Structure 1
């Protein structure tokens, strides 16, 4: 009887090849992004309380299973989306002057707040934050990493240039920077700002910060 010796080459030919996971084992990034976009649209359309996984899936053009593979519930989905937006943040202006930096920040922020989806989502999530501590924490983090974080960098730059005295009350300064525009566009819901408003706001806020 002839006994055939199996070589390494033979083994590599007969050993089953590992297949790249497919289907449920792979979370396609395009599907994930479609779901995230659908969350914003659904929040703007029906609000958090009436939002459902079924509605999100239908808007994203996927099955409910695709959503549940990524998030356990609509709460976790919304928390993830809010956190992702916070990480992206706003660009930090670097015009070389405090007033110029504030003017650019106000321009970018006002454009974002005028977006029809954003203008619907923010008040709704704030209302939910009063009832849900997890959403409240996520929104607080978004604010800290978003506009408040950028405002802090603007203040630090102004201190380094000698435009502000060292040791300015940071929390009060951020309130002065962020409060007026937020009040006008989110609370009072002014759709169209008066001509020259952002210039005047940047100039007045600069003067107030220098007086601290």
Structure 2
């Protein structure tokens, strides 16, 4: 065996594996900076400092502030809004509403969501990127929930998943993020029943 074969191979320069604990620290720092400074004043430098890493660690993961924020927020949205599988449309809708309420009641969400939407209103780029990222998550959730309901015979074929999520989650967002009023548990049950009834009445494609 040659000396070259005995020597362990090194990873190519620039191919270092991203450390998951560093990524988690940066993601947490992004949320903290969004809550304290808002998107407009958020900077890569501040995020790196709060996470205890160098700026290069951030740039290895995201090319820009916008890409970083959208990725972090989108990943969080996927975690706090899991695809329900209760065996019934009533149960799935109630779980979706409960998950949305839990997410929107978080202090960081109450600060971050309105701020990002305000920034989106001023910046077409932010609006398009934010809408695309969040819509991908919503479409997948809606697609699975509605497909299951159709297969069980609870909804007609052709029911629009995006329309369904508008009906299910729209009132929750309005109540908690816009007018910032509380929702009692019995109100959540009422919203769930109302959403299911509305979807059953709407028919295919969410239209009369």
Aligned to 1:208: 198
Write out aligned runs for 1:11-30 (5 A).
11-12=2-3, 18-20=9-11, 25=16, 27-30=18-21
Per-residue deviation at 1:113? 1.1
**Greater displacement, 149-158 / 18-27:** 18-27
Native 8 Å contact 1:152 1:174 kept in 2: no
CA distances 1:73-124 after superposition (whole Å, capped 9, x unpaired): 3223223323434565732222222111111111111111111112211111
Name which one, 1 or 2, has greater alpha-carbon Rg. 1
TM-score (norm 2): 0.82
Question: Are residues 134 and 80 of structure 1, via their aligned partners in 2, closer, same or farther at CA, if it must alter by over 3 Å?
Answer: farther
Kept in 2, the 8 Å contact 1:89–1:146? The answer is: no
TM value normalised by structure 1: 0.81
Return the offset for 1:142.
3.2
Matched, 1:144 2:104: no
Q: CA RMSD, aligned part only?
A: 2.8
1:118 maps to 2:109? yes
Residues 142, 161 of structure 2: 8 Å contact kept: no
Structure 2 gap ranges (5+): 203-208
Unaligned runs of 5+ in 1: 1-8
